[in-house]
Chain A
Amino acid sequence: NAGVMQNPRHLVRRRGQEARLRCSPMKGHSHVYWYRQLPEEGLKFMVYLQKENIIDESGMPKERFSAEFPKEGPSILRIQQVVRGDSAAYFCASSPLRTSGKVVGEQFFGPGTRLTVL
């Protein structure tokens, strides 16, 4: 049973380019979360998605960032017109479909994508 997959593992972009980060959740998981770790900081929640729906995007920057989790294929975190301050490690996590009223199960993390903006 493969774990959460993220690609690429390392991504270098010049200022103004677009960055696309992909996350394939564990098999059977329908909840995906994106977190960002800026240099010298902890993990910060960005967005929570289910298939074809954004459930909570309270941690997403207002501009240039978007996320999707289509019916088929991986979840994508897209950063348009990257700036140096976007350089960070971006982690994706997934969890299985909740069976009760609360989503309290553990989240399984991918290895992360390290984005460097030159």
Chain B
Amino acid sequence: AQSVAQPEDQVNVAEGNPLTVKCTYSVSGNPYLFWYVQYPNRGLQFLLKYITGDNLVKGSYGFEAEFNKSQTSFHLKKPSALVSDSALYFCAVRDQGFKTIFGAGTRLFVKA
């Protein structure tokens, strides 16, 4: 069965510093991997996805993620964090069908 793990409940970074939000996955076959962001009292918004090809995927708002097949990881990164990046981030995996499974979420707190 496919699954996604986000080992950190919360990540704290100072504004201007690089940030990393971790994600590992377990899936049979080729994974389709996603990152979504949720701001307070809002629905989830798509950030980026990995299907195939280049292991470094660039997405919205300056975010990028690195796919690592040997470590089954798909960590979200940003070179320089903004206070406005503070939100709840979800990693997700989708199989060849229609089911998208989400991780438990990681709360990112960026301090000014």
Physical interaction between A and B: no
Q: Which residues of B contact A (CB under 8 A)?
A: none
A residues sitting closer than 8 Å to B (CB atoms) are none
